[in-house]
Amino acid sequence: MSFLDEIKLDFKIEDVDINTYSPLTLAFIGDCVFDLVIRSVIVCRANRQPNKLHKLKANVVKAQTQSEMAKALMDDMTEEEAAVYKRGRNAHSFSSAKNASIQDYRRATGLEALVGYLYLLNRSDRILELISLGLRKLEIDI
């Protein structure tokens, strides 16, 4: 049973068709999942001081890096994944990143929407595959 399945069971949450979720809702959960994956990799690789952990994490989860990762992964996405990514990228948010261009912020939102979508489908295998591939393509060693 997945972590998400356990959450749904414990909190008595019924399944919902995730295709009805807005892309910004998918990005909301995808942001957290992406962050958790990166934090997990960093922490499991070495016991470091919190400020070093934060710097390593922040370099990967910032909008500019996520934007570059999204561009690098486009050819590796299925048609379904690309459609979810594009819905997230094209969604009009009322907020923006402090230190990112609008283009970078939108591409990052698209990537987060895709991660959220895959998470809600219990496709952690695909999330890890895409993030790992993206890190390799960008030559990021965390």
**Residues with a known catalytic role:** 31
Task: Identify which of 63, 37, 58 has the alpha carbon closest to the alpha carbon of residue 116.
Answer: 37
Q: Which residues contact 92 (CB under 8 A, 6 or more apart)?
A: none
DSSP assignment string, 97-131: -TTS-HHHHHHHHHHHHHHHHHHHTT-HHHHHHHH
